[in-house]
Amino acid sequence: ALTPGTDAPTWPPEFAERYRAAGYWRGETLGGMLRERAAAHPDRIALVDPAPRRRTWTYRALDERADRLAAGFAARGIGRGDRVVVQLPNVGEFVEVCFALYRIGALPVFALPAHRETEIAHFCAFTEAVAYVVPDRHAGFDHRELASRVRERTPGLREVFVVGEPGGHTALPEAAAEPGGPLPGPEPHELAFLQLSGGTTGMSKLIPRTHDDYVYSLRGSVGICGVDAGTRFLVVLPAAHNFPASSPGWLGVLYAGGTAVLCPTPDPATAFALVERERITMTALVPPLALLWTEAAPATGHDLSSLELVLVGGAKYSEAAARRFEPALGCRLIQVFGMAEGLVNYTRLDDDAETVVTTQGRPISPDDEIRVVDDHDRDVPDGTAGHLLTRGPYTIRGYWRAPGHNRRAFTEDGFYRTGDIVRRTPSGHLVVEGRAKDQINRGGEKIAPEEVENVVLGHPAVHDVSVVAVPDDHLGERSLAYVVLRAGAGPLRAADVKRFVRERGIAAYKVPDLVEFVDVLPRTGVGKVSKQRLRATPAHP
């Protein structure tokens, strides 16, 4: 079984004691939270899945469903500390499966619906997953076939559970069983799940979050955003992502006794219809969606008057766009600058309007330690841009099974090197000024260039490649692959490179948006490709 400290660094005892003494870590688990809410208000609606036929779950029903699935998973030998890759779109079963796994102390590994064979096979192999949960089909793609291929490659993967038509696998409802009695659940200081990092080098690193630390981030987020039993939260972004899950997200809403409504697709037409029909009060968007909402809201035929608050984050929200938001939507805006590794910053409901549109907020916790440093880890004065380092009661001390990477990504005294360049205002708010890490933020979807470069290098005609971000009006950034062809290689078009990457089985958002052929890549003094100089090269899309 997995215990914190063996597969990932955890907080030193003196920090853990401080966080408990301060009342941040209260010994709650996610499974216990649902149990308590179900006891307190069994008949309130916890969850709505509106498509294709509207289904609702009361707190009691969700609790019972989690118990039945937990019993069934346990009967199939899935136990405490086991990893289960969960790849589901925004459907009610996703929430059921999460709580079932939390109950038995098995760890969901949160894949995104867009992930394909390259990513899923890696998650299954690297985490030694015993099970994989998929929809039958989603967005025109058959996940059962993907599951069969992954299973062939990963002998340790014992079970595939399917929401919908199971094909040759096990239908999720078949996995449920009559609970035989209380299961030995996880301790609050143990891991709850593995979340995916945006990644910089190679494949995503896995982020180990504990019940104690995550529940604290929920409680803090709920307080800051004013979530309560009357909140009706629309989950527009993929529910497995840390932002819509926890900032304050569907989990925060369940923590507060409100109602989470799952939006099947993020387009404004679908979302606006649901806002009207479900009387939605709150939602969370990435900047490109916030732009679409701002453009579409004034002319929509839908009644959006129930909306009170929208959180925007995941990528930089331009000041100009932020200024247009409240007038167009007629509701409040909170900017969020967060990361699955932990630290989450929010603008506050009582911040003045300028602060809300010009900053990305300040930390949840008084014990979130923030350092802004130069290239040599020396603190810079407030108002000066520098690297953001952070440590605190819900920020991890290391990635899961990644000791080598952890030495680079964390300081010796446990600060996480976020890779973000920020400036701190006198009020303690952070303004995101840029990024030092080699990552592309495509409208909130994070791409590790090295991962894409490794795929492109597999093309027989490609000699070298470098993938960089280029500015984009709508997405903020798009990806551009500079490709050097092998001497004597036949002609290759941009479309050939893109098709090659797509056919390798990788999430569509990672396929380079643009491809440019060049004779050489600019190099730094030590012979590494200079991404800085490449980014400065004018692109010809």
State phi, psi for 293 to the nearest 5 degrees.
-65, -40
The two structure tokens encoding residue 8: 């990932």
Among 93, 351, 420, 477, binds ligand J2J (CB under 6 A): 420
- Count of positions on this chain that bind ligand J2J (CB under 6 A): 23
Q: Which of residues 323-362 bind ligand J2J (CB under 6 A)?
A: 335-340, 344, 360
Tell me how far apart the alpha carbons of residues 50 and 27 are, in angstroms, rounded to a whole number: 34
Q: Which of residues 225-254 bind ligand J2J (CB under 6 A)?
A: 242-243, 246-247
Q: Which of residues 132-171 bind ligand J2J (CB under 6 A)?
A: none
Of 35-43, 183-191, 314-322, 519-527, the segment contacting ligand J2J by CB under 6 A is 314-322
Minimum CB distance to ligand J2J, residue 209 (Å): 11
Tell me how far apart the alpha carbons of residues 364 and 248 are, in angstroms, rounded to a whole number: 11
Looking at the Cβ atoms of 290 and 485, the one nearer to ligand J2J is: 290
- The residue type found at 345 is N
Minimum CB distance to ligand J2J, residue 493 (Å): 32
Looking at the Cβ atoms of 161 and 399, the one nearer to ligand J2J is: 399
Question: Is the Cβ–Cβ distance between 12 and 199 less than 8 Å?
Answer: no
299 burial level (CB within 10 Å; 0-12, 13-18, 19+)? exposed
Task: Provide the sign of the torsion angle of the four alpha carbons 403, 408, 409, 411, taken in this order.
Answer: positive
Looking at the Cβ atoms of 72 and 313, the one nearer to ligand J2J is: 313
* Rg of the chain (C-alpha set): 23
Encoded one letter per residue, x for contact with ligand J2J by CB under 6 A and - for no contact, window 81-120 reads ----------------------------------------
Among 72, 89, 135, 198, binds ligand J2J (CB under 6 A): 198
Minimum CB distance to ligand J2J, residue 84 (Å): 21
Task: Give the 3-state secondary structure of 345-402.
Answer: EECCCCCCHHHHHHCCCEECCCCCEEEEECCCCCECCCCCCEEEEEECCCCCCCCCCC
Looking at the Cβ atoms of 175 and 357, the one nearer to ligand J2J is: 357
Q: Please name which of 86, 31, 186, 126 lies closest in space to residue 400, comparing C-alpha atoms.
A: 126
Tell me how far apart the alpha carbons of residues 10 and 33 are, in angstroms, rounded to a whole number: 23
Minimum CB distance to ligand J2J, residue 174 (Å): 34
Of 136-144, 260-268, 309-317, 479-487, the segment contacting ligand J2J by CB under 6 A is 309-317
Minimum CB distance to ligand J2J, residue 255 (Å): 15
Minimum CB distance to ligand J2J, residue 56 (Å): 26
Tell me how far apart the alpha carbons of residues 284 and 303 are, in angstroms, rounded to a whole number: 18
Question: Is the Cβ–Cβ distance between 263 and 274 less than 8 Å?
Answer: yes
Tell me how far apart the alpha carbons of residues 313 and 336 are, in angstroms, rounded to a whole number: 5
The two structure tokens encoding residue 332: 């409040």
State phi, psi for 489 to the nearest 5 degrees.
-70, 145
Q: Which of residues 356-395 bind ligand J2J (CB under 6 A)?
A: 360
Looking at the Cβ atoms of 247 and 283, the one nearer to ligand J2J is: 247
Q: Which residue is nearest to ligand J2J (CB)?
A: 338
Name the CA dihedral angle for 26, 27, 32, 37, rounded to a multiple of 10 degrees. -10
- The residue type found at 511 is V
Minimum CB distance to ligand J2J, residue 464 (Å): 27
Is residue 432 close enough to count as binding ligand J2J by CB under 6 A? Answer: yes
Question: Is the Cβ–Cβ distance between 196 and 340 less than 8 Å?
Answer: yes
Looking at the Cβ atoms of 104 and 254, the one nearer to ligand J2J is: 254
- The residue type found at 396 is I
Query: Can you state the angle between helices 59-75 and 30-40, rounded to 10 degrees?
Result: 140
Minimum CB distance to ligand J2J, residue 197 (Å): 6
Encoded one letter per residue, x for contact with ligand J2J by CB under 6 A and - for no contact, window 439-458 reads --x----x------------
Among 138, 371, 435, 442, binds ligand J2J (CB under 6 A): 435
Looking at the Cβ atoms of 298 and 471, the one nearer to ligand J2J is: 471
Which parts of this chain interact with ligand J2J (CB under 6 A)?
Answer: 198, 242-243, 246-247, 313-316, 335-340, 344, 360, 418, 420, 432, 435, 441, 446
